Chains A and B, each alone.
Chain A
Amino acid sequence: MFRAPLSLTGLLLLACLATSPSQSDELKDLYFGEALYYAHQGDFFAALERLDTEVKQHAGLDEPELDSLYFHMNDAEFSLGDFELRYRMHHRAGRAIRAVLEGAVDERVRNDAAYRLARIHFQKGQMEDATRALERIEGKVPESIRDDIEFLRANIYLAQGRPADSVTVLKRLQNSDGYGGFAAYNLGIAYLQEGQQQAAKQQLERAGQIPTSDTAELAIRDKSNLVLGTIFLESGEYDKAIPFLNRVSLDGPFSNQALLSSGWANLSIENLERAVVPWSILAEREVTDRATQEAMLALPYAYGKLNIHGRAAVHYGKALESFSAEVGKLNTSIESIRAGKFLEALIREEIRKDKDWVIRLRSLPETPETYYLMELLASHDFQTGLQNFLDLADLRRKLISWQASFDSFDDMVAIRHNHYEPLLPEVDTHFRELDSRMRLRIEQHKMLVRRRDDLLTTPRPEFLATRGEQAVLKRLEQIETQAQSRDSALGESVKTRIKRLKGLLTWTLETEYHERFTEFDRNLRGLDEAMAVVEAQYDQYVRARQAATHSYVGYEKPISRLRANVRSSIKKVDSLMARQGHELEVVAIEELRARRSHLENYGDKARFALADSYDRATQAQAKIGEKQ
């Protein structure tokens, strides 16, 4: 497989991934929704931070089924792996997805997880592991990822040098809605890898004529035509190469290479005028492009072959001038990178808001000529390094802002401490007094409630006597006791009166019992309400008191631990940024040097050819003069 299809495949995989932070039909967990909100905006750090915390909290619950995340656990674990993958944390992403695979989950969910794991391994170039992950897929497969799985399988086979297997899979994908164009192209490449030249040519021809308006598919169609044209060019079948090279659209990403090859194909069959046409177009294009630079030499070469030496000399002169200017720019760029301007420009946040931010880098003062770095920027390792550098810069910004917030936390805690510390002892003393009084009342209330409950089962009218009645009853009982003693002078008439009075009292208590009990119960219920208010206020006070303490006690250790962690993380990030940045600079300089050497070589050729063209032009002029 070619590099370009691989990168296109990667783009396609990422595009699929970007749309797939899956969710259940109805969102039940706000915090999961919040993580999705950040993920949909591409802020995977924030998404991960929220979802990771939520999933960990959920895992620590005694009754997880009562938690709202319970309904989304499969999705949440999936999304966690997805976000980690998008945040380029492959180690953790792999672990998260493996956890889903090993859990007791639905067949479709497990198959989806296996596919995602395979995709991670594929992106990391671990083809054996990717194959093993795909082998775990069995039974029901979600409709939405069926073609994704097959396309991935075909790409893995290609990467493993198993083109025949890849051909079998890709044939099945030819009518796929999502992969039609890519599958058609990759099938051609698989045939090529298998050594089936004829089948490859036929397939690439088909892939080069797929009707589409999709930008990515248009690009792959151009790529098919370019590759097929190149195959014919390489095998010396120049006239066959030309129609395919001409099919490549003039404004697509492969147009420069196609124009260049078309020129060479025409030149090879001595069709010199035809060679001049594509090269003339190409020579006017972006001068930093390799194909353009080559065309700037090829065009005068063709004019020379046509014996138009004067025009050849003019174009050689133009090329020479252009190459010298470009060498100058490259020297400046190399110096600029050495001075750290490249890295400075990379981490400027405002420029990255544009999707073509890398190209826009050149618009900044003192930044290197980034057009020369485009190929390098597209390479996987450089991209990984660049993304890591940018991620590190983001982490650094976050850590620095957190570091500043610790001082505010300290101030906040100190202010609360100074406010509450003098107040709380007095409040506590007062509270203790109130607390003992309240406890007494609570006990009394409980006793009354018990008494009412007892009265419901065993009526005791005397318990409901008024204070006056109780005093009268007590006095009567005293008199009765006296009357019963031997020394008593009280006569029978008194005893009879006492009996009558007691009877009267008992009569009152018995006959008014129900009324009094109802009144007692009503009063007690009123008391219940008052006690509930008191107890609520009591609880509220206790909470407020606890909150007062919690607002400033117990923060010292976590703040100082976090402060230390942040400080040490900043050191690590700085060190990693320095290493990563240095590596990027070295690679970028290496690339620019190679391009400079290439241009210097072209410059030498142009200089020699320019002199030669002048000579020939002069000779031709002389011959014309002689004739005249």
Chain B
Amino acid sequence: MSKLNRALMVVLLVCGPMTSGSAENISGDNTRSLDGQVQEIKSDVLNIASELSNLEERLLYPSGTQIAVFVSMAEAEKFRLDAVQIEINGELATHHIYSFNELEALQKGGVQRLYTGNIPSGDHQLNVTMIGKLKNGTDFNASDSFVIAKGIKPKALGITLSRPDSGSSGIKVGDW
């Protein structure tokens, strides 16, 4: 029994970073070879994904009519964003409810592509609504309207959200 214990301890002490257990020795080389092939197929699939995205964009959202709406949070904003709704010319374009991970990604500086669609060139009415909760626990529901001009180029709109206060809705829209 004592020998068994000691053997365990020896294993505990002498295992270096490059020495491996029995299971690893069985498959180490094969794993590395497979790993290389897996990396290759990942690269292939990424290329396919990129090409497919381009194709989809060309097919579904031609540049002349394309509008993409992106959402980001103003720097250092920590309020809880629950949902955002976008209406274009009074029609619901999209409504998104945020998960914890998505909210955290926005708070860390990520930008979410919330909507991609088609509109004709000219002026359009954009209504943005955000629903959330302030740090003090107060629920809020803020909306704002904007007029956006669509030209012949694809339109990319950036919506920046911050905590609403008495003077402003906390929703800003800008061209990118």
- Supposing A2-B15, A230-B13 touch, asked if A298 and B1 sit within 8 A by C-beta, the answer is yes
- Name A329-386 residues within 8 Å CB distance of B: 375-376, 379-382, 384-385
| Interface status of A483 (Cβ within 8 A of chain B) | no
Interface residues on B, range: 35 or more
Q: Given contacts A48-B46, A298-B1, A409-B59, are A27 and B72 in contact (CB under 8 A)?
A: yes
Q: Do residues A550 and B58 form an inter-chain contact, with CB atoms below 8 A?
A: yes
Q: Is the CB of B16 closer than 8 A to any CB of chain A?
A: yes
A25 to B85, CA, bound (A): 28
Complex contacts, A381 vs chain B, CB 8 Å: 20, 23-24, 27-28, 31
Cβ-defined partner of A40 (8 Å) among B6, B46, B108: B108
A375 to B24, CA, bound (A): 11
- The reply to whether B13 and A234 form a contact with Cβ atoms under 8 Å apart is yes
> Are A257 and B58 closer than 8 Å at their CB atoms?
no
Q: Are B27 and A562 in contact (CB under 8 A)?
A: no
CB <8 Å contact, A559 and B53: no
Please, how many angstroms separate the alpha-carbon atoms of A385 and B37 in the complex? 12
B59 with A384: CB separation less than 8 A = no
Pick the residue among B24, B30, B112 that contacts A379 (CB under 8 A). B24
Report the nearest B residue to A29, measured CB to CB: B176
Of all chain A residues, the one with the shortest Cβ separation from B12 is A230
Decide if A136 is an interface residue (CB 8 Å cutoff).
Answer: no
Is the beta-carbon distance between B6 and A234 smaller than 8 angstroms? yes
Residues of A within 8 A of B106 (CB): 37
Instruction: Give the contacting residue for A583; candidates B15, B16, B18, B30; CB below 8 A.
Output: B30
Q: Are A580 and B38 in contact (CB under 8 A)?
A: yes
- Shortest distance from the beta carbon of A397 to any chain B beta carbon, whole Å: 11
Cβ–Cβ < 8 Å partners of B30 in chain A: 583
Instruction: Confirm or deny: A105 has a beta carbon within 8 angstroms of a beta carbon on chain B.
Output: no
In the assembled complex, which residues on chain A have CB atoms less than 8 Å from the CB atom of B44? 565, 569, 572
| Cβ contacts under 8 Å, B13 to chain A | 2, 227, 230-231, 234
- Distance between B70 CB and nearest chain A CB, rounded to angstroms: 5
Query: CB distance B62 to A33 under 8 Å?
Result: no
Nearest CB of B to A111, in Å: 23
Nearest-neighbour CB distance to chain B for A295, whole angstroms, equals 10
Question: Quick check: B41 and A576 within 8 Å, CB to CB?
Answer: yes
| B123 located at the interface, meaning its Cβ lies under 8 Å from any Cβ of chain A in the complex | no
**Closest Cβ–Cβ distance, residue A260 to chain B (whole Å):** 7
Interface residue A527 (Cβ < 8 Å from any Cβ of B): no
Contact B22 A412 (CB under 8 A): no
State A522–B112 Cα separation when bound (angstroms): 51
Closest to A42 in B: B101
A297 interface residue (CB < 8 Å to B):
yes
Question: With A382-B23, A550-B62, A579-B34 as given contacts, are A391 and B42 in contact (CB-CB < 8 Å)?
Answer: yes
Given contacts A53-B53, A301-B1, A562-B51, A33 and B12 within 8 Å (CB-CB)? no
- Tell me whether A34 and B24 are in contact in the complex, defined as CB-CB below 8 angstroms, given that A227-B13, A576-B38 are known contacts: no
B92 to chain A, nearest CB (A): 23
Instruction: List, in ascending order, chain A residues with CB within 8 A of B4's CB.
Output: 294
Chain A stretch 1-33: residues in CB contact (< 8 A) with chain B: 1-3, 6, 23, 27, 30, 33
Q: Does A58 contact B (CB under 8 A)?
A: no
Is B16 within 8 A of A1, CB to CB?
Answer: yes
Contact B42–A89 (Cβ < 8 Å): yes
A68-B176, A381-B28 given; A34·B20 CB < 8 A? no
Shortest CB-to-CB span from A152 to chain B, Å, is: 13
Which A residues are CB-close (under 8 A) to B97? Answer: none
CB <8 Å contact, A53 and B20: no
Closest A residue to B6 by beta carbon equals A234
10 extra interchain contacts, Cβ-Cβ under 8 A, other than A36-B111, A38-B105, A395-B41?
A: A30-B113, A125-B17, A257-B8, A294-B8, A381-B23, A381-B28, A382-B24, A398-B49, A412-B59, A547-B62
Binding site for A on B (CB under 8 A): 1-2, 4-6, 8-10, 12-13, 15-18, 20-24, 26-28, 30-31, 34-39, 41-46, 48-55, 58-59, 62, 64-65, 70, 72, 101-102, 104-106, 108-113, 121, 152, 156, 158, 176
